């Protein structure tokens, strides 16, 4: 008797479901793809309990006849490709014919559909991939697919689902990724009968950006546009147009002042499909290289419209990755387009803000106001009068215990050498440990609460963790829509960027919950992450000179911390140079 056996169809479908359907958001992704491919102008997504109990996607697309409705639940049944050649010329979001039978094999599925001008619709009920119940339904325009109790018959998969807020967060992100490029289609997402996303059809990508992320956030992005024949990249504020003959590229890029602690707000769309692609990602980072701090990340939404024959979308089970025919060409296009857009944005921003002089006793330097980070696109001339040789004369040097070196560093002189301190990193360490202790946090009730508009996913995250934020002295309440009001803040935050702080905190929570660790260890890491972000947003910047009294207090507080030599991110806070080391450097020993 042979050891190798052909598997039954039901088991094959469950295996396929394991590759395609990872969580409720995967179901949402596949069903929305079908709706878009059907030409829907309105798509409604409904979910209960993070999609674990129910996912329902309804559309007003083309719909299906009775015969097509029965066939669509069979494996590898599709209307989107017919031959080998079609597989390398895919212009639709779906094409394999695996999604619906895979979903049906691990859930209780109800499909209701009606073809245009049909006298009757079709209703199909199927549980666990078997026991089909087929009845007639009233005619209507479009298709509705209802998926209940996902993985009910695969308990080993169901137990790996995350908490309801985490699964909902993934669903929100999926709907955002689908709604963004399809701006001519209206999208609604409801969770437990409450609206999370509700956007009508618009005429431009810019309008859809504002609908999904708000006007405040959209104002942080630069427009880039480049045309190379079979590809595109677009956005708004500053516009760049170039023609390379055979490619087009368009997208939104964060300004140099709007950087993130994590890699949130980094999306790549290829022919309207959200994907991960190292070539495009590397090119974007290469353009930002040297313009933002190494520990910060840019935000970007890059849209690539390319000839379907020049990209392979059939390289990942969930279609999250693509392979380009000429990746080097893609890299050059993206890097040059992003670089040109940043150059236009940086120069314009600098001209608007102007260049200001900042001084500390005995030493003068030039710096652009704003980010406090070196901008190579702004030409700064050094003149003879900018240097002050008198600083080293007649004992003036000796009167200062601390020396300001550039914008970031302080040198503290002692009897056996000197210490170079990164004042931002040092202040981060002090605040970080203060926030972790919590009992030492002094709060301030805001006379006028601050209203902050958040994107849907971040709003959901912040609301689900507001009690944790309250422990850190940050009191946040819902204010309608996706707006929140901040009533109380830690006193040290002062005039910090509160919206940027909430976005960074939400990003950190999303990353932490994605690790799959639950219970006390996760709560501890969440607390450490929030403390680090609070500390980073209010610690003194290199462009904020401190007087000698303030520096003495900072260094005294630093010495009292548990880990005074490292900031919360692992960077050095101070480096000590002994006299012996100096003698060696100058070849005197």
| pLDDT of 126 | 95
Residue carrying the six token digits 């618009």: 202
Contacting residues for 413 by C-beta, under 8 A, at least 6 apart: 401, 402, 403
Longest Cα–Cα distance in the chain: 101
Least confident of 34-38, 143-147, 296-300: 296-300
| Model pLDDT for residues 468-524, shown as the tens digit of each residue | 999 898 999 998 888 999 999 988 887 778 888 899 899 888 888 776 666 666 778
Residue carrying the six token digits 């609908």: 211
CA 370 to chain centre: 24
- Mean pLDDT (whole number) for 534-556: 76
- Report which of 305, 294, 291, 203 is spatially closest to residue 254, judged by C-alpha positions: 291
- Give the DSSP letter string of 35-58: HHHTT-SEEEEEEEGGGTSEEEEE
Instruction: For residue 228, name the pLDDT band (cuts at 50, 70, 90).
Output: low
Contacting residues for 79 by C-beta, under 8 A, at least 6 apart: 68
CA separation, residue 5 to residues 129, 266, 494 (Å): 21, 45, 69
Cα–Cα dist 374/381, whole Å: 14
Instruction: For residue 54, name the pLDDT band (cuts at 50, 70, 90).
Output: very high
* Interhelix angle 498-513/520-538, nearest 10 degrees: 150
- Mean pLDDT (whole number) for 134-139: 92
For residue 370, pLDDT beyond 60: no
Task: Give the SS3 label for residue 492.
Answer: helix
| pLDDT of 229 | 53
| pLDDT of 246 | 60
Q: Work out whether the CA dihedral 403, 409, 410, 412 comes out positive or negative.
A: negative
**Highest-confidence segment of 64-78, 138-152, 236-250:** 138-152
CA 38 to chain centre: 29
For residue 180, pLDDT beyond 90: yes
Instruction: For residue 392, name the pLDDT band (cuts at 50, 70, 90).
Output: very low
Least confident of 106-115, 124-133, 240-249, 401-410: 240-249
| pLDDT of 542 | 53
| pLDDT of 516 | 62
474 within 8 A of 488, measured Cβ to Cβ: yes
Cα–Cα dist 272/403, whole Å: 54
Task: Give the SS3 label for residue 427.
Answer: helix
Cα–Cα dist 235/271, whole Å: 16
| pLDDT of 168 | 95
- Mean pLDDT (whole number) for 158-173: 92
DSSP E strands, 255-407: 266-270, 273-275, 300-304, 311-312, 323-324, 355-360, 363-368, 402-405
| pLDDT of 342 | 85
Least confident of 138-147, 398-407, 568-577: 398-407
Instruction: For residue 446, name the pLDDT band (cuts at 50, 70, 90).
Output: confident
- Look at 540 and 212; give whichever has higher pLDDT: 212
- Give the DSSP letter string of 265-304: SEEEEETTEEEB-HHHHHHHHHHHTTTS-TT-B--EEEEE
| Model pLDDT for residues 284-315, shown as the tens digit of each residue | 999 998 888 887 899 899 999 888 888 888 88
Question: What's the mean pLDDT when you consider all of the chain?
Answer: 81
- Mean pLDDT (whole number) for 75-104: 84
Instruction: For residue 357, name the pLDDT band (cuts at 50, 70, 90).
Output: very low
**Highest-confidence segment of 65-74, 184-193, 467-476, 562-571:** 184-193
| pLDDT of 458 | 92
| pLDDT of 354 | 32
| pLDDT of 224 | 62
| pLDDT of 566 | 92
| pLDDT of 92 | 87
- Report which of 548, 395, 531, 407 is spatially closest to residue 473, judged by C-alpha positions: 531
| pLDDT of 416 | 81
What domains are defined for the chain?
9-201 (3.30.565.10), 207-350 (3.30.230.10), 402-589 (3.30.1370.100)
- Report which of 344, 248, 249 is spatially closest to residue 300, judged by C-alpha positions: 249
Q: How many helices (H) and strands (E) does the chain have?
A: 17, 25
Cα–Cα dist 143/35, whole Å: 8
For residue 553, pLDDT beyond 60: yes
Least confident of 6-10, 217-221, 339-343, 431-435: 217-221
Cα–Cα dist 76/98, whole Å: 5
| pLDDT of 264 | 82
DSSP-derived letter for residue 360 is E
Pairing verdict, β 300-304 and 266-270: parallel
Q: What's the residue count for the chain?
A: 589
CA 131 to chain centre: 42
Cα–Cα dist 450/582, whole Å: 51
């Amino acid at each position: 008797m042979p050891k190798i056996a052909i598997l039954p169809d039901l088991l094959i479908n469950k295996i396929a479901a394991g590759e395609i359907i990872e969580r409720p958001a995967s179901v949402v992704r596949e069903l929305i793809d079908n709706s878009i491919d059907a030409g829907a102008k309105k798509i409604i997504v409904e979910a209960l309990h993070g999609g674990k109990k129910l996912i329902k996607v309804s559309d007003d697309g083309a719909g299906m006849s009775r015969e097509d409705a029965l066939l669509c639940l069979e494996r590898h049944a599709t209307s989107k490709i017919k031959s080998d050649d079609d597989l390398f010329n895919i212009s639709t979001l779906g094409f394999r014919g695996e999604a619906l039978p895979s979903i049906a094999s691990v859930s209780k599925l109800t499909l209701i559909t009606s073809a245009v001008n049909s006298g009757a619709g079709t209703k199909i009920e199927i549980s666990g991939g078997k026991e089909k119940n087929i009845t007639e339904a009233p005619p209507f325009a479009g298709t509705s697919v209802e998926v209940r109790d996902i993985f009910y018959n695969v308990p080993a998969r169901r137990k790996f689902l995350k908490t309801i807020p985490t699964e909902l967060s993934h669903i929100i992100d999926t709907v955002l990724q689908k709604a963004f490029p399809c701006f001519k289609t209206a999208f609604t997402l409801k969770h437990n009968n409450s609206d999370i996303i509700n956007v009508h059809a618009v005429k431009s990508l810019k309008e859809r950006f504002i609908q999904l992320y708000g006007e405040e956030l959209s104002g942080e992005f630069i427009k880039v546009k480049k045309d190379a024949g079979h590809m595109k990249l677009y956005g708004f504020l500053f516009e760049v147009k170039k023609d390379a003959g055979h490619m087009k590229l368009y997208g939104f890029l964060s300004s140099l002042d709007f950087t993130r602690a994590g890699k949130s707000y980094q999306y790549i769309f290829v022919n309207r499909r959200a994907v991960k692609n190292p070539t495009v990602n590397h090119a974007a980072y290469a353009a930002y290289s040297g313009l933002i701090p190494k520990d910060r990340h840019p935000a970007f939404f890059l849209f690539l419209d390319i000839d379907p024959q020049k990209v392979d979308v059939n390289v990942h089970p969930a279609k999250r990755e693509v392979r380009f025919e000429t990746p080097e060409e893609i890299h050059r296009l993206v890097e040059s387009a992003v670089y040109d857009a940043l150059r236009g944005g940086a120069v314009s921003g600098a001209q608007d803000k102007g260049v200001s002089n900042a001084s500390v006793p005995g030493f003068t330097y030039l710096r652009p106001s704003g980010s406090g980070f070196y901008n190579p696109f702004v030409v700064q001339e050094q003149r003879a009068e900018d240097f002050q040789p008198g600083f080293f004369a007649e004992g003036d040097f000796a009167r200062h215990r601390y020396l300001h070196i550039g914008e970031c560093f302080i040198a503290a002189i002692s009897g056996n050498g000197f210490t170079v301190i990164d004042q931002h990193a040092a202040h981060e360490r002090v605040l970080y440990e203060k926030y972790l202790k919590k009992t030492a946090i002094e709060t301030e009730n805001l006379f006028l609460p601050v209203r902050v508009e958040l994107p849907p996913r971040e709003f959901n995250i912040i609301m689900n963790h507001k009690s944790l934020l309250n422990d850190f002295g940050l009191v946040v309440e819902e204010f309608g829509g996706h707006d929140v009001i901040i009533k109380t803040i830690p006193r040290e935050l002062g005039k910090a960027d509160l919206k940027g702080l909430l976005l960074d905190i939400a990003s950190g929570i999303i990353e932490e919950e994605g690790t799959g660790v639950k219970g006390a260890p996760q709560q501890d890491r969440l607390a450490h992450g929030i403390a680090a972000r609070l500390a980073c947003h209010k610690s003194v910047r290199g462009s904020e000179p401190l007087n000698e009294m303030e520096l003495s207090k900072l260094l005294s507080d630093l010495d009292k911390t548990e880990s005074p030599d490292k900031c919360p991110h692992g960077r050095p806070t101070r480096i000590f140079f002994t006299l012996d080391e100096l003698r060696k450097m100058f070849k005197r020993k």
